[in-house]
Chains A and B, each alone.
Chain A
Amino acid sequence: MIKITNLEKFYRTEEVETVALNKLNLEINTGEFVAIMGPSGCGKSTLLNILGLLDDPDGGSYLFNGTEVAHFNERKRADLRKHNIGFVFQSFNLIDELTVFENVELPLIYTGVSTAERKTRVEEVLTKMQIMHRRNHYPQQLSGGQQQRVAIARAVVNKPKLILADEPTGNLDSSNGNEVMELLTDLNEQGTTIIMVTHSEHDARYSHRIVRLLDGHTVMENIMM
C-alpha cells in the first residue's frame, strides 16, 4: 500500500538545519498494523504527517497504492486524504462547537454524502464505538476516553483504507487506553491498515510490526508474533 524510498525532510531556521527524516525507506502492506516508535525528535510525527499528506517531503519518493504522491498539489492531497485516510490524534482534536454526531458527520460532508446516508453511517459507527447515547453532547461534556472514541469514529466513518494514529492513548488512562487499542485492533482485523506513532511499548504490542526510528532513519524492525 505504501512504499517510501529515500524519504528526506529538513527543518530549517535562520541558523541551523535539522534533519528530521534521513533517506528513510519503508514499505507497508495493505491490512498491516504498524507501530512507529523512537525517542522524541526522531522523526516519528514528521513521518506520519508526510504519510497523511499533511506535510511535504524534501526528497525521495512516496508511493501510495502505486501512485507517486510526494509532490501532489493541495487539491489532490485533500482528495486523496478524504477518500483514503483517517486521522486519530493524541489530543483528540474534536471541534468544540460541534456535537458528537456533527463531529463524526464532518468527513462525510466533505465527501458529498447525502444527508440521509450520513445519518445512517454516523449512527452505525457511533453504535459500533458504543457512544451513540452521547450523540448530542459536545466534546467538553465527554471523558477523554469517550472523546477519543468519537475521534476514532470520525476517522473511520468514511471507511478509509488507512488510519494514521498519533499517540492515540497519550492523553488517556490505561483502561481507556486499552479500549482505544482494542478498537484499533478490531478495525485492523476488518481490513483497515493502521500506522500508529507511540511511545508506549504496551500499545505497540497490539501491532504486527514495530518500526523504530532514530535520527530520521530506521534502526530496527520487530515483527510481532
Chain B
Amino acid sequence: MFKNYLKIAWRNLLNSKGFSFINIAGLAIGMTAAMLIGIWIQHELSFDRFHKQIKDLYIVYNKSIFDGELHCWPSTPPALGPVLKQEYPDIKYSARITYVDKHLFDYNGKKLEAEGFDAEENFLKMFTFPLIAGNMATALSSPYKIVITEDFAKKMFGTTENVVGKIIKFDNQYNLTISGVLQKLPSNTRFQTDYITPWLFYRVQYNGDDQNWGNNSYRTYVQLNSGANLKKVNAKIINTTIKHSNGNEDNQIFLHPFGDYYLYNTFKNGVPSGGRADVVKLFTFIAGFILLIACINFMNLSTARSEKRAKEVGIRKSIGALKLSLVGQFLIESVIVSFIAGVIALILTRITLPYFNELVSLDLSLPLLKPSFILAWLVFVLATGLLAGCYPALYLSSFKPVQVLKGTFVSVNAVVTPRKLLVITQFTFAVVMIVSTIVIRKQIQYAQDRDSGYNKNNLIYTYFNGEIHKNQNLIKQDLINSGVAEAVSITSGSFVSSSANSWGLNWVGKPEGAKIVFDQMATQGDFAKVLNVKVVKGRDIDPQLYPTDSTACLLNESAAKIINAKNPIGQIIDKDFIKWHVVGVIKDFIWGSPYDPIQPMLVMGPAQKWSNVVNIRLKANQPLSAAMPKIEAIFKKYNPAFPFTPLFVDKDYEVKFSEQQRTAKLAGTFALLTIIISCLGLFGLAAYMAASRTKEIGVRKVLGASVLNITALLSKDFLKLVIAAIIIASPIAWYAMQNWLQKYTYRIEIEWWIFAISGIGAIMIALVTVCFQSVKAAIANPVKSLRSE
C-alpha cells in the first residue's frame, strides 16, 4: 500500500512540474527561514545552561527604590561575596568577578592585546569551563597566575601544548605564570574572554580594596547546596548589605537563577518581566508564521487542483478504500514534498548561514552530523508535512465517489472559501511585516537625526594603558604643541557610552530622602571645549586658569533643573566627601541611548581622580591621514610598550543604533521572504484559475471582450483578497508597532502614509504576480481554447 502511495505521489510530482516547483520552492524557502531562526533559538535557549551545576547557580541582584519605583540590577559591592558564603550555610560557593577589560600581554617580545576578567578561585568549580591543561583546583589560587583560553594560547604561542608554566607579562608590569588552558569556550556563554586572572591579582593591582559596600561594580555568583530553598535563602540574605554597611547603604539583595539570567533579566517593579525571552518568543512566532505561509501555498494549490485528484479519490473509495486510508495517503504525499523541501532547505541553510550570522552577529553552525540535529530535522520535516497536508488530506478524502465518478463534480466557489481565507492570512502577515520594517527604519532614522548636543566629527579618543596615566600632562601638551589638536581633555569615560552613575549627591534644597540618579563623569579640564558642547551658563572647567577648579563641576541642563536653584552657578554639590562648586551649565548631550531622555549629569573636576580616557579634538582643517601618525608618535614616545589604539566618536556613536539596525535588517529579510513565498503561491493559484477558466475566457473573447477586460476579470478576485488583507493587517501592525515603540521614550508617531505605502506595495506586488498569468490567458487564441472543449 505504502509503495503504491509513494508511486502516485512521485508521479503526481513529475506530472505537474510547475505546481511541484512552486510547492517545493515555497516550502523550502519557508523551511530555510524556520531552520535559521530555529538554530538561533536553540542557541538562545541553551545560553549558559550547559553548566553541570546550573540548577544551583545564582547571580546576586541588588534592589532599591528610585523615584518611587523598585529597580533591580546585578552589579554588587565587592565585600558581598565572601560575607554571603561565611554567614549562610545554604551557600556552598561564592565567586566575585570584575568587568571585562582589555590588557596588553607580552611573551618574549610578542605582544597581544586581550580581554579578560578577574575571578575568585571558586569560579572554575561552579561553572563548567574545563581545562585542557593545568590544575583546576589551584589555577586561580595565588595572585600571579593566569588561565588562558585555547584560542589565546594558539594566538600567543601557536600551540596549546606545554603552555602551562610559561610566564607572560601583563601590561608591561606584572609577570604572570600560565596555570591552565581553558577548552575553547562555546559561543553560548556570557563569559566570553581570552583569559581569567585570579581575584587576588585584582587585589594586588588595586591595593587590596575589596571590602567596600558602596561600589556596585562587580558581579557576585553563588552556588547553593543541592536542595536549598531559594525563597528561604532570599528571605535570609535580603538585608546583608544594609547590615554590614551599618546602614550607609540601603540596597537589598536577592538571588536570581543563573539559568534564567540570559533570557529573563528584565525586572519591572521588582518582578521579572521577560527580557531576551521576549525576542526569542517573537522570533519563534515569526518562524512559525513564515512556515505556515509556506504550508498555506501547499494547501491552496493542493485543494485548487482538487478536481484532478477527485477522480482518484472516487475510484479508491469505490473499490473499498476508507476515508482514513485516503487521509493517510495524502499526508504521505505531503510529507514526501516536505522531505524534498527539507533537503533543499538544509542546503539553503548551509549556504545562507554565514549571511544570517552576520545579521545576528553570531557564529552559529549547522551540526549536520549530530544525531540530535538529525532527529530534530526529521521531526521538523514530518511536522511541516503534516501541517501542510492536513487540510488538503481532509478536503480531498471527503469527496463523494457518486459525484466525482459521474463527472458532475465541480469545486466550490463560495464567497468565503478556506482558500481565500488562507491567501488573506498570507498577505496579512506580509503587510504586517512591511509596515513593521518601515516603522523600525523610521524610528532609527528619527533617533539618528536627533541632535546629539555636541560635535562628533574630528573627535577621537583612546583608553589609558601603560604609562599614559603617568605622562598624561606631557601627552596633552605635546598634542597641543604639535598643532594637530585643538584641545585635549582627560576624562573618566568616553563621550559615547554612558558608564557611571550615582545617587549619592546632595545639595541645598534636595528633598529629604530622595534618591535621584545622576550620570557622572570626571575631567581634568577643557571638557566643554573638547566635546564642543554649548556652555549655557558660566564657563568650562579650567584648572590652569582657575586653580580652585580642582573641585569645580559642571551640570547639564537637566541637572540644573533638578537642583532648582535660581542661579546654579556657585551652588555646592556634595559628593564623595568633596564639595563641588558649580562653575558652568552645559547643554544636554546624548551620552546613553539616543532613544532615552537625557539624564541629569554631573561632571567633576580634577579632584576626582578618575582618569581613563584621553579625548582629542582635532583641528578641522587637516587631513586625518596626516594627523594620525603625529598623534601616534606622541603616544609611542610616552607609552612605548603599548600599541596606540585610536577610537572615533562619530563611528562609535553609530554603534548605538546597531541593535535596532539589526532588527530592521531581520524584519526586512523576513518581510521579503514572506512576500516571495506568498507571491509564489499566488502565482500558482492564478495559473490554476486561468487554466480552469479557459473556456469562459474563450467565450468572452468571442463575444468581444478585450485583453484588458479579461486581465481585469481574472485579477480582480485576487486583488480583493489582498485589499482585505491590508484592512486586517493595518490595525494589527499598528498595535504591534505601537507596542514596540513603547520601549523608546524618544520615538516616532506611526503615520497613516506608512499603511498607505505598505498597502500599495502589497497590491502592486500581487498585481504583477497575477497579471502575468491573467495576460497570458487573455492573449490566448479563443478558437484554440473553445475547440479543445
Q: Interface residues, chain A, CB within 8 Å of chain B?
A: 45, 49, 52, 54-55, 74-75, 78-79, 81-83, 86-87, 89, 91, 93-98, 102, 105-107, 109-111, 154, 158
A163: min CB distance to chain B, Å = 12
Question: Cβ of A95 and Cβ of B8 under 8 Å apart?
Answer: yes
Question: Cβ of B7 and Cβ of A98 under 8 Å apart?
Answer: yes
- Which of B316-337 touch A at CB < 8 Å? 316-323, 325
A109 to B321, CA, bound (A): 10
A36 to B97, CA, bound (A): 95
Given contacts A81-B318, A102-B7, A154-B319, 6 further A-B contacts (CB under 8 A): A54-B317, A54-B401, A55-B402, A83-B320, A93-B315, A98-B8
A199 to B604, CA, bound (A): 108
Decide if B418 is an interface residue (CB 8 Å cutoff).
Answer: no
Closest 4 CB pairs of A and B: A82-B320, A97-B11, A107-B319, A110-B320
Question: Cβ of B322 and Cβ of A87 under 8 Å apart?
Answer: no
Question: Cβ of A107 and Cβ of B312 under 8 Å apart?
Answer: no
- Residues of A within 8 Å of B325, CB to CB, are 110
Which of the residues B12, B15, B317 comes within 8 Å of A78, measured between beta carbons? B317
**Which of A45, A75, A105, A109: most chain B CB closer than 10 A?**
A109
Question: Cβ of B8 and Cβ of A97 under 8 Å apart?
Answer: yes
Decide if B570 is an interface residue (CB 8 Å cutoff).
Answer: no
Question: Cβ of B8 and Cβ of A78 under 8 Å apart?
Answer: no
- Residues of A within 8 Å of B318, CB to CB, are 52, 54, 81, 87
Given A81-B318, A97-B15, A74 contacting B323 (CB threshold 8 A): yes
A78 to B313, CA, bound (A): 13
- Residues of A within 8 Å of B322, CB to CB, are 74-75, 78
Bitwise interface map of B from 680 to 710 toward A, beta carbon under 8 Å scored 1, else 0:
0000000000000000000000000000000
Question: Cβ of B312 and Cβ of A110 under 8 Å apart?
Answer: no
Chosen A-B contacts, 28 in total, with CB atoms closer than 8 Å, are A45-B406, A54-B401, A54-B402, A74-B322, A78-B320, A79-B320, A89-B405, A91-B405, A91-B407, A93-B311, A93-B405, A95-B8, A95-B311, A96-B15, A97-B15, A97-B312, A98-B4, A98-B8, A98-B11, A102-B4, A106-B316, A107-B320, A109-B4, A110-B1, A110-B316, A110-B320, A110-B325, A111-B320
- Residues of B within 8 Å of A109, CB to CB, are 1, 4
- Residues of B within 8 Å of A96, CB to CB, are 15
Question: Cβ of A49 and Cβ of B7 under 8 Å apart?
Answer: no
B785: min CB distance to chain A, Å = 21
B residues contacting the other copy or chain, number (CB 8 A):
26
- Residues of A within 8 Å of B317, CB to CB, are 54, 78
A75 to B321, CA, bound (A): 9
Decide if B314 is an interface residue (CB 8 Å cutoff).
Answer: yes
Which of the residues A52, A78, A87 comes within 8 Å of B321, measured between beta carbons? A78
Question: Cβ of A97 and Cβ of B12 under 8 Å apart?
Answer: yes
Question: Cβ of A106 and Cβ of B8 under 8 Å apart?
Answer: no
Question: Cβ of B406 and Cβ of A106 under 8 Å apart?
Answer: no
Question: Cβ of A81 and Cβ of B314 under 8 Å apart?
Answer: no
**Which of B8, B312, B314, B315: most chain A CB closer than 10 A?**
B315
- Which of B393-432 touch A at CB < 8 Å? 400-402, 405-407
B42: min CB distance to chain A, Å = 40
A94 to B311, CA, bound (A): 8
- Residues of B within 8 Å of A158, CB to CB, are 319
A59: min CB distance to chain B, Å = 18
Which of the residues B11, B311, B321 comes within 8 Å of A110, measured between beta carbons? B321
B722: min CB distance to chain A, Å = 32
Question: Cβ of B405 and Cβ of A106 under 8 Å apart?
Answer: no
Question: Cβ of A106 and Cβ of B4 under 8 Å apart?
Answer: yes
- Residues of B within 8 Å of A154, CB to CB, are 319
A81 to B320, CA, bound (A): 6
Question: Cβ of B312 and Cβ of A82 under 8 Å apart?
Answer: no
A21: min CB distance to chain B, Å = 13
A199: min CB distance to chain B, Å = 15
A106 to B318, CA, bound (A): 11
Complex: chain A residue closest to B323, CB-CB: A74
Given A49-B402, A55-B402, A97-B11, A87 contacting B4 (CB threshold 8 A): no
Complex: chain B residue closest to A103, CB-CB: B315
- Which of B275-317 touch A at CB < 8 Å? 311-312, 314-317
A78 to B321, CA, bound (A): 6
Complex: chain A residue closest to B8, CB-CB: A97
B321: min CB distance to chain A, Å = 6
A25 to B694, CA, bound (A): 45
A119 to B783, CA, bound (A): 47
Given A45-B406, A49-B402, A109-B4, A95 contacting B321 (CB threshold 8 A): no
Question: Cβ of A93 and Cβ of B4 under 8 Å apart?
Answer: no
A104: min CB distance to chain B, Å = 11
A112 to B405, CA, bound (A): 24
A54 to B401, CA, bound (A): 7
Question: Cβ of B407 and Cβ of A110 under 8 Å apart?
Answer: no
Question: Cβ of A95 and Cβ of B312 under 8 Å apart?
Answer: yes
A158 to B318, CA, bound (A): 13
- Residues of A within 8 Å of B15, CB to CB, are 96-97
A102 to B614, CA, bound (A): 84
- Residues of B within 8 Å of A105, CB to CB, are 4
A62: min CB distance to chain B, Å = 15
Given A54-B402, A98-B8, A93 contacting B320 (CB threshold 8 A): no
A187 to B8, CA, bound (A): 30
Question: Cβ of A110 and Cβ of B319 under 8 Å apart?
Answer: yes
Question: Cβ of A82 and Cβ of B406 under 8 Å apart?
Answer: no
